[in-house]
Each structure stands twice: as structure tokens, then as C-alpha cells.
A and B are shown apart, each in its own frame.
Chain A
Amino acid sequence: MTRRSSKVACSHLSNVPGRTLDTHRSGPSLRRSARTAAIAIALLVAAACGQKANVGNDTSAAPASADQASATGGAPAAGQPEASGATGETVATSGGSSTAAPSSGSTGAGSGSAPAAAGSSSTPVSGPAAAGTRSGGGSTASGGSSAGAAGSSGGSGRTPTSATGPSAGGSGGGTAAPAPLPGPDAPGGPADRTGVTDTKIRIGIHAPITGAAPFPQNAFDKGKDVYWKFLAEKGGIFGRNVEVVFRDDQFNPSRAVQVCREMVEQEKVFVLMGAAGSEQITACARYANSMGVPYLSAGVNEDGLTGLNTYFATSQTYAQQHPALVSYIANKLKKTKLAIVLNNTPALNETQQSVTKLAQQAGLNIVRQSRVGKNASDSELLSEANALRTSGAEVVYLLTSPVNFIKLATNGQAQAYSPVYMGPGITNGLNIVAEAGCPAIGPAKFFSPFPQLDVIDNLDPDYQKSYQKFNGGKGDDIGLAEWGLSKVIGSMLQAAGKDLSRQGFLGALESGKDFTTNVYPVVSYSGSIRFGAKSAHLLEADCNTRSYKTIAQFTNGF
């Protein structure tokens, strides 16, 4: 504003009736105020966005090359296996359940895996029935499920570089990865026993306790040790008990790398695990790979994880769940109009391509594809709900955080729009989502690595007994998720043998053994297969009870 216009403004103000008190404010002072406001807002935004700005720097925290890793003191990993058992041995930790493990359906390419009956496995620590009966190759896995072996069961050996998603009909065999990235391997180097003593194994877990879903704050804490206490009573893992270090990654990749770094460098954990959250898992897995630390997570995206030496998915990735998901829509729901809604993150690009391709192959009509912000505003979700309604989508494929899912469904309900929400994933099938989201979410259906509480007593009666014993109450599904994941890790640690090292652990994983828990799906890996789960559970929201129920166990198609 020029001096002249300031004068005009001042004279204008002084002439406003009843406003004679205002004459001391001049144009420049107003401008100063506006400037101050702008600076203040910029500062606030900078502070608020500071965390997000670091997202792109995750890889800087995780040097990709061996040189970088060694420069940061990364421990060598993925050396020669020192697996304790013969290749093809089945390791199961079914906790003494006499229930036969369900079949994983058609076997993965080249894996030849048939899950062992529970109780017939070799783990001496995981339950009375499981003790000491080494199957000796009864459930042989060739360990050779490489890309070249793909195709025998319909595309289960998809090479991630194709970025097109699994072929229709793929039945969930291990997904082959290309040759691992040049990581911090140091074959022949000294055994890395970080986090392992004669009596203890320390493991680290990160999860989005805050930021993604309305999780009760203590639910994770209460559940994280239940399986390990149960196992300790059976003698532990070769006499060692497992100590869990747990960190909240706040549903933020920057924070995830920070907490993983803390757990590796300060807490000296032996192995890292990610419970949920694509971006957080990807960020931490890359960091762990740079440090030579074994990293396991529930299956999420494959982008950004393919080729990491130390990464292993303990359940099906989103893309691996798509064949079953699409077949359910086409054959069970018999719906044709599909909308696809994902969180707006590049980590899900391949996932979107995968479901799009499969849906088109199955003859579904994709009427809308969209992305919503990780912390979408009310306006964004209302607009999205309205756009979904006008698109006429009968089924909405959803891959967002539970918070966004609940808000989207609530906005959809407010627009008299109630499609079937369905998707892969981990957290949207938790009871807390049904509790908060019903009735808006309707009979939402989500795949899950673990079943719901309605069937767990049949699959693994030890869970509720142990939870009751160690926590004094009925176990919830968050505890069940932790129980299942711990059980998978327990069977892997067992397979690595008494002389536990990171190299031995990775070798045991890559040996092609089947790891069976009767909670999580059967999983096996090889040197090139890191996404080795073969099935998943399908859950459906029951708004009468405000909880999820299991409508299909260990399934890979409909």
C-alpha cells in the first residue's frame, strides 16, 4: 500500500460513524500485522510439517550400499546359513493344539509346501504336542521358489520388477524377488550375536499405536509379552527367554526410522519387527537392511521392500491378497462396480496397479480410482464419499488407515451411501474399528494375517488361556495379532538353532522351511523369496456385536 493509499485508508476510517476510536490504526500497521500473521502461520506450518518433510530423507538414514552401511558401522548379515535343520524341514509352533493346520491351498511355486499338522513339528519349546517330533522333511520345501520356477500355480512367482501385480488366479505362493540388493553381506565374517546372551534374546517391535487408529494405549503393551511368557514356561528357545522392546512409530515413517535406529543402536535388539503401516515398515526395513539387522513384518507393499537382504514378510503382501479379494467380489458378492481408494503414498503405486489389473481381468468395472491424504481433512473425505456415491460403486476397495476408513464410511452414510467396503491389510479388521465405525462401515470385509477371536479357541487354545493367565482378562485381537507374530518369530528363532547369530537366523529363514503357527499363515522363504506367505484370513464386520468375525480361514481364493 502506498503512502497515498494509506492516507486514504486512514481518512476513510476516521470518517466511519461510531468508529472514532479507530483512527490510530494506519495502513502500514495493518500491513505489519498481516506480515506478522503470515510469518506466524509459516512458522506453525513449518513446525507441523517438519516431520513430514523428513519422510523423503528416510533413505538417507538407510544407506543402500555396502560401503555406506560399513561407514555407519552396519553389522554384516545374510552370511552363509548355519541352519540347524535340514532343508525342507517343517517348523511348527502350534502351541500344542491338536487341530490340524489348515491347508494353504494350492502350493506356491516351487515351494511344495504343505503345512504340517499341528503338533508334529520339531520345536521343543512350543507346546507339549509339538515337542521333539522332528518331521525330517515330511513337508518338504524345495527352497527353490525362484522367479524361474514361477508359473506352476498361476503366477505365484511374480517378479516384482514387473510392477503389474500378480496374475489372476495366483494362489499365494512365495513371491520371488530379483537378486538381492548389494547390501551389507559379509559372508564368512564373524557371527553377529547382537541382542543374544545365554539367557536372553532381545527383539524390537514398532507399531502405529498412535496416529492410525483409535487403539487403546495399553493394548499393545499388554499383549506383547504373552507368547514369550508362555514360551518361557516351556523352556524358552534353547533356554533363552525373549525380551521385547516396543516403540510407537506414530504412523510416521520418519519417526519409524528414529525408533528403529534407537532399538538397533541403543537397545541392541537382535531382530526388528514392524506390526503395521506400509510407509513405516518400508522405511524401517530399508534402515535395517543397511545395518544388516533382520527385519520381519506383516505383509504390506512390495515396492521398496523387494531386494532387501534382511527383509521377510510374515504374511501375504497386499498384492498377494488381491487374487482372493477379487475372486470374492466376483464370485461371492457377485458385484461388478468397483471403486479403489488408497492412501496417497508412492509405496502403494504397485498395489494399485496390481488390484486394477486383476479386477479388469476378472471383468469388474472400475468406476473410480482415487487417493486420499494420510491425514485427510473433513472436506476431502466428504468429497470422496460423495464422489464414490455418484460413481455408483457397489464395492469400495479400501487401503487407508482405520481413521480415514471410519471417517469415509461415516461421510458415506451421511450421504445415504453404503457400499461394501473391502480390502487387504492388517488394521482395518481390528475390533476397535468395528466398535468405532459401526454402523457406517456395514458388513465391511478385510483380509488379515490373523483370525478373529471367534475362531481362535479352535485354532490355538493356548492364546486365551495364556492371556488370562498373564494379564488377568480375556485376550483381545490386538493381543492375538502380537501372539501370532511372536509365534512366527519364535518358530524362526527355534529353527536358527542354539548357536544363534544374525547370519544363522537369516540362513534358517532362507532355507525354505515352512513356518506354521496355526494363527498366521504358513510361510516359507528362500534366497530370492521374501514374500512367502501362502494364505490369509477373511474377516467381516458384524455391527450387531460391533466386532469382526472370521468368515474364511487360511484362504487363497473363492
Chain B
Amino acid sequence: MPFLASRSAFVGTVIAVVVAALMVASGQKQALVIGVITGAGYGLVALGLVLIYKSSGVFNFAQGEFGTIAVYTLYGVHDLAGVPLLPAMLVGLAASAAMALATEQLVVRPLFSAPRVTLLVATAGVSLVAISLELWLGEARIRFIQPALGRLNRVSLFGVQVSDQRLLVLAALLMLAVLLGLFFSRTNLGLAILGVSQEPVATELMGISVRRLSSFTWALTGVLAGLAGMLTAPVVGSFAPGFLTTTALIPAFTAAVLGGMTSLPGAFVGGVVVGVAQSLAVSAPAFKDIPGPGAVMVFVLLVIVLAVRPQGLLGKAS
């Protein structure tokens, strides 16, 4: 019944508009802007989580590290070796895609028939190994990275300046959400990937190579994570081992669950909602006595969604 889905979207949109209006009316309009621009980063990571879950039913805890590897590669190639930014970014994307492919080949594929929880733990293991490698090769120190786009004052909303780098993150998130949504709904390859996730044997019998599709999906996820890392690290200004895992994975999971876990536009919406909720918690006087209000808000949001609407705002069963 498409009506249900559209009604959910409608209700979600109405709620979002009402919340936004309330924030503006109550003097929290700056928190709204800050939430949207910081939430875009979460949405970008959430896109990769949704893509993997949508195609293989795996909760990929290594997603953050695919992105962190890309940031380290970018830093090494661009900042240390002096390679121009764009080629360096391509190298970074190649590194994250390679790591994702290696994860698929060495960890996911041998365990694919195991319960999903086993795969979840396996990807968490990949994440820990990656963090150890980063500590070993990159030292346990914080490094600083400059944004590709340095202009700070092109756009100002409600008195909050939105830098070009943040606009880039927002634009990339929006564009990728739409493109991937179209990819999965309009192309044979996208539908084939969904088919593999639902019925691998039947899809194989249809002449579709499950292995190739799986590799393609994981590589694509690696590229998405790489983009997320390389675009958001300069916004934050610094990175360290485990950067994307520690700063964005939990909010991104919340965003993905909020958006419906299988909905790519939902990841975008979820990211923004999580960002706004976090920003509101940080800036609203009502929360000032709560330690770490941003993190608390993320978990409150997660619990509410799982309890009230486990399929998320825009979720459909795959």
C-alpha cells in the first residue's frame, strides 16, 4: 500500500517542519542551522551503512574505518607527499575501496552463511584491526587537516556562517542520496543487488554473479565511506586513529535506523534529524545540566525510534 509509505513521509515531513518552526520561534534557529550542517556528515556515513544493509543485510561496523583509512591516505599523499588535492582524493578513495573489498573477500564472504550477528561482530573486528594499524603506522597522535574549500562566509543563515566545506558535505550527501536511490529503484544493477540480498540462490540461477555484485557493493560502500571521511575531516579540523568510528559511527547508525535502515533518502533525513537533535541538546538551556547532552540525545532518539517505529521514518522492509 503506497499510501502508507507516502503517509509516513508526509507525517515525517510535517513533524520536521513543525519542529523547525518551533526551534525558530523559540530562539533556537542557530541550533537548527548547526544541526543541519553537522548532521550532513552523519548522513554521509549513514548512506554507506544503509547500502550494505540493503544489499546484504549486514550491519557494517567497519564503515567508519573505511573512511578513516581514506583520510590517512589523503593526509599522507596530499599533506606529506605534496600531491595535488584531487589526485590525492582519488588515491584516498582507492584505498578505502580496497579496504572494503579486502573486508568482503577475507571476512564477509567466508562467513556469509553464518548468522548476521556473526558478521556484525566480524566487521567490528575489522574495525579494531584497522584502528590498531592506524595507531601503529600513524602514531597515536592527533593530526590537523585543512579544508579543500577555504572560504568561510559565502552563506550565512540566521547569523550562522556556513563554510564552503560544509556546503560541500551537504551537497554531496543530497546528491548521493538521490543518485543511489535512483540506482536501486531504476537500474537493473541496483535491482540485481537487492535480489542478491533477498534470494542469492535464485539470483544466481538467473545468471547474475552474486560474487561480483557483492564485491561491487562493498567497493561502492568503501568509496562512500572514503568520501564521508575526506569531506568531514577538514570540517572537524583534525583526525586521529579511529576518527570516523569514534566521531560519527553511532550517530550515523542512529540516522540509518531513524531513516529506515533500507532507505537511502532516509539516511539523509536521519542524519539531519540526528544533527538537529544533537545541536538542540547542546544549545538549549533545558539540557545545560546534563553532561554530554549531545550524545545523550542521540541515544534517546535511538531508543524512541526502536520502540515506537522500528522501521524508521522512511523505512520499508527492504
Contacts and interface: CB of A to CB of B under 8 A. Distances in A.
Interface of A: 1, 8-13, 15-16, 18-19, 21-22, 24-27, 29-31, 33-38, 40-41, 44-45, 48, 209-210, 213-217, 248, 344, 373, 375, 377-380, 382-384, 386-387, 390, 403, 406-407, 410, 413-416, 436
Given A25-B198, A34-B310, A209-B140, A12 B38 contact: no
Contacts of A31: 310
Interface of B: 1-2, 4-5, 30-31, 34-35, 37-38, 41, 53, 57, 59, 61, 116-117, 120, 124, 139-144, 152-153, 159-161, 163, 185, 191, 194-195, 198-199, 235-238, 246-247, 249-250, 253-254, 257, 261, 275, 278-279, 282-283, 291-292, 294-295, 299, 302-303, 306, 310-311, 315-318
Contacts of B302: 38, 41
Contacts of A248: 140
A485 B207 CA distance: 72
A26 B316 CA distance: 10
Contact of A379 (B2, B35, B153): B35
Q: Name the prevailing secondary structure of the A interface residues.
A: helix
Contacts of A9: 311, 317
Contact of B163 (A8, A11, A34, A414): A414
Nearest to B299: A45
A1 B308 CA distance: 9
Contacts of B246: 48, 375
A215 B141 CA distance: 6
A112 to B, nearest CB: 44
A357 to B, nearest CB: 21
Q: Name the prevailing secondary structure of the B interface residues.
A: helix
B32 to A, nearest CB: 11
B59 A386 contact: no
A379 B281 CA distance: 10
B276 to A, nearest CB: 9
Contact of A22 (B120, B198, B315): B198
Contacts of A209: 140
Given A377-B294, A378-B247, A413-B152, A44 B124 contact: yes
A95 B28 CA distance: 58
Instruction: Across the A-B interface, give the 5 residue pairs with the lowest CB-CB distance, nearest first.
Output: A25-B317, A34-B310, A214-B142, A210-B140, A379-B38
Nearest to B159: A390
Contacts of A414: 152, 161, 163
Contact of A37 (B34, B142, B237, B261): B261
A436 B294 contact: no
Contacts of B278: 377, 379-380
B250 A45 contact: yes
Contact of B1 (A12, A215, A375): A12
Contacts of A38: 302-303, 306
Given A15-B1, A34-B257, A214-B144, A21 B191 contact: yes
A13 B260 CA distance: 14
Contacts of B117: 36, 40
Contacts of B5: 12, 16
14 contacts: A1-B310, A12-B1, A13-B317, A21-B195, A24-B199, A35-B310, A36-B117, A38-B303, A210-B141, A216-B141, A373-B294, A378-B41, A379-B34, A415-B161
Given A12-B1, A44-B124, A403-B238, A380 B294 contact: yes
A16 B2 contact: yes
B194 A406 contact: no
A34 B261 contact: yes
B116 A36 contact: yes
Contact of A15 (B2, B35, B249): B2
Given A45-B250, A379-B35, A416 B152 contact: yes
Given A11-B1, A33-B53, A377-B38, 10 more contacts: A22-B318, A36-B117, A37-B257, A38-B303, A48-B246, A373-B292, A383-B34, A387-B283, A406-B238, A407-B238
Nearest to A29: B317
A373 B292 CA distance: 6
Given A21-B199, A40-B120, A379 B253 contact: no
Contact of A25 (B291, B292, B318): B318
A44 B59 CA distance: 12
Contact of A213 (B34, B142, B257): B142
A27 to B, nearest CB: 7
A12 B4 contact: yes
B34 A22 contact: no
A34 B116 CA distance: 12
A530 to B, nearest CB: 29
Contacts of A19: 194
Contact of B160 (A37, A213, A415): A415
Contact of A10 (B160, B275, B291, B317): B317
A383 B283 contact: yes
B221 to A, nearest CB: 17
Contacts of A27: 311, 317
Contacts of B195: 21
A41 B53 CA distance: 15
Contacts of B279: 379, 383
B34 A13 contact: no
Nearest to B31: A383
Contacts of A15: 1-2
Contacts of A29: 317
A44 B61 contact: yes
| Chain B CB within 10 Å, residue with most, of A1, A33, A214 | A33
A214 B141 contact: yes
A379 B36 CA distance: 10
Nearest to B158: A386
A104 to B, nearest CB: 36
A74 to B, nearest CB: 32
B236 A407 contact: yes
Contacts of B38: 377-379, 382
Contacts of B61: 40, 44
| Chain B CB within 10 Å, residue with most, of A21, A36, A38 | A21
Nearest to B241: A210
Contacts of B143: 214
A41 B301 CA distance: 13
A152 to B, nearest CB: 40
Nearest to A390: B159
Nearest to B35: A379
Contact of A214 (B41, B159, B238): B238
B191 to A, nearest CB: 7
B200 to A, nearest CB: 11
A48 B315 CA distance: 29
| Chain B CB within 10 Å, residue with most, of A18, A21, A24, A378 | A378
A436 B117 CA distance: 42
A214 B143 CA distance: 6
B206 to A, nearest CB: 11
A386 B310 contact: no
A543 B160 CA distance: 26
Contacts of B34: 379, 382-383, 386
Contacts of A386: 30, 34, 159-160
A406 B1 contact: no
A406 B306 CA distance: 37
